Amino acid sequence: MKKIALAIHGGCGVMPEDSMTASDWEAARNDLAAALGAGYAVLQSGGRAVDAVEAAVVVMENSPHFNAGHGAALNENGVHELDASIMDGATLGAGAVSAALAIRNPIKAARRLMDDGRAVLLTGAAADRFAEANGLATEPQSYFTTQKRVEALEAMKAHAAAGTDGTENEKHGTVGAVALDAAGHLAAATSTGGYTNKPEGRVGDSPIIGAGTYARDGVCAVSGTGKGEFFIRHVVGHEIASRIAYLRQDLKTAAGAVVNHDLAVHEIGAGLVAIDAEGEIAAPYNTPGMFRGWVISDGKAFVATHETIYEVMV
Ligand code: ASP
């Protein structure tokens, strides 16, 4: 069989053990495994990388454990504004939505827009209307809200009032996937609620092609997580691709340099998953943990949140 591979992330941060119950940690790992399973099933049956990353992200958007779709972060007004994007490395086709209020699975809307081809990025009410017009499910805001995100917003507002800094956990998170399919094509997808207490209308890196999401056949595919403003300024996805294409760096060197040098100097939590044309995977992060998982050609699949890596069945 030709090489296929998939890597996913569910955000990075401090992630102290006591920030979730043992059963919640296990449930989050199970949802990572389910996301890997959904994406890998596409690749294994000879499907396209772009379909695999969409399928994996949908599972994580539906999970309450990650900051995307159901379980997304709240902005300063207690509103969910959802960002997502997808890119097909084969064609450089891309689609994205930002500040959407009602799309159940923002990554599906990004994909529809990519296939539609009339625009790369739709924002706000227009993104919601585009999703509805294309038959995608919409939800009331309450669908996206979890108790954890309500508490995180309260905590961030208290920090703001006291002039103190919140934990990375209270602040952000994102989900994403990158894949290589049997035809040698690469793709990336990313979806997020952004960071807790973000200003109304703020757009992060996740829907910005080249920053939070990037894929180019023969080079790499990248999906990032961390304070989006810095991912935008460093054009992280494209920067990693450029290091590989122009400097001839290997994937791990290129991705590590951006996370551990370029982004680290800003003292922000940052992580990403990336895959190259050979199916090599890199998942660097500069925080104590990152929800992540990967599956390679032999079908061996792994998930992790901190240092311990768990082999899972997909
Ligand atoms: N990158 C996301 C954003 O800035 C948040 C995160 O990944 O933590 O919107």
What's the pLDDT tens digit per position in 159-172? 989 888 766 555 67
What number of H helices and E strands is found in the chain? 10, 13
Q: Which atom of ligand 1 is nearest to the CA of 198?
A: 9
Cα separation, 37 vs 34, in Å, equals 5
Q: Examine the residue annotation and report whether 174 is marked as an active-site residue of this protein.
A: yes
Q: Any alpha helices (H) in the chain, and if so which ranges? A: 22-44, 49-62, 106-116, 124-133, 141-144, 147-162, 168-171, 228-233, 236-247, 251-257
Q: Ligand 1 mean position to 242 CA, how many Å?
A: 22
Q: Give CA–CA dist 28/179, Å, rounded.
A: 21
Distant-in-sequence, close-in-space partners of 207: CB < 8 Å, separation ≥ 6: 83, 84, 85, 96, 97, 98, 110, 121, 190, 213
Which H helix or E strand runs over 197? none
Residue type for 46, please?
G
HSE, side-chain direction, 13 A CA sphere, residue 203:
18
pLDDT at 309 over 60: yes
Test site for ligand 1: of 168, 174, 263, most ligand atoms within 8 A of the Cβ: 174
* Distance in angstroms (rounded) separating the CA atoms of residues 132 and 163: 41
The answer to whether 74 and 150 are in contact (CB under 8 A) is yes
User: Which residue is catalytic, options 146, 164, 167, 174?
Assistant: 174
CA–centroid distance, residue 14 to ligand 1 (Å)? 14
Q: pTM score, two decimals?
A: 0.97
Most informative mutation of 198, 206, 230, 236 for ligand 1 (most atoms within 8 A of CB): 206
Measure 44 CA to ligand 1 centroid, in angstroms. 30
What are the structural domain ranges in the chain? Answer: 5-312
The tens digit of pLDDT for each residue in 222-279 reads: 999 999 999 999 999 999 999 999 999 999 999 999 999 999 999 899 999 999 999 9
Give the distance (Å) from ligand 1 centre to CA of residue 183: 31
In the CATH scheme, what is the code of domain 5-312?
3.60.20.30
